[in-house]
Amino acid sequence: MEIEINEKKTNPYLNRTEVNFTITHENQKTPNRDVVRSELADSLNAKKENIIIERLDSGFGSQKTKGYAKIYSSRKHAEEMEYKYIMKRNAVKGKQKKEEDKEEPEASPEPATEKTEEKEQE
């Protein structure tokens, strides 16, 4: 898989860099967003959590995918500017939610009802 940067534009007003790129993936399926974010982070010297991929477009049977990504100066700026569904799609907050789920205590069992007590007596 090779990533070619077609256009790179700095947007100082929104504290981000906007990138149009093309991915060549011969004899492979379309790469998922996590892999593309990692490759972009390596090639652009940015942190993976600051990269938001807005879209990946590949045609049927094509071995090239065009994409558009935004690289923010910090994760805080990304959370302020991007829609929640875009952040969820990029799994930026996914790790935090999993950790929160683990910290929550388990629900207590339901109290016994009269019907269950009657069945036990029989």
Confidence class for position 72, pLDDT limits 50, 70, 90:
very high
| CATH code matching the domain that covers 2-91, chosen among 3.30.70.330, 3.30.420.10, 3.40.1390.10, 3.20.20.70 | 3.30.70.330
How much of the chain exceeds pLDDT 90, in percent?
38
- Rounded Cα–Cα distance for residues 70 and 8 (Å): 10
Q: Is the model's pTM score more than 0.75?
A: no
Contact 19, 71 (CB under 8 A): yes
Which DSSP symbol is given to 90?
Answer: T
The strand order across the sheet containing 51-58 reads: 2-11, 16-24, 64-72, 51-58
Q: Give the integer Cα–Cα distance in Å for 74 and 63.
A: 32
CB atoms within 10 A of CB 19: 22
Q: What is the pLDDT of residues 82-109, one digit of tens each?
A: 889 888 988 765 444 444 445 555 555 5
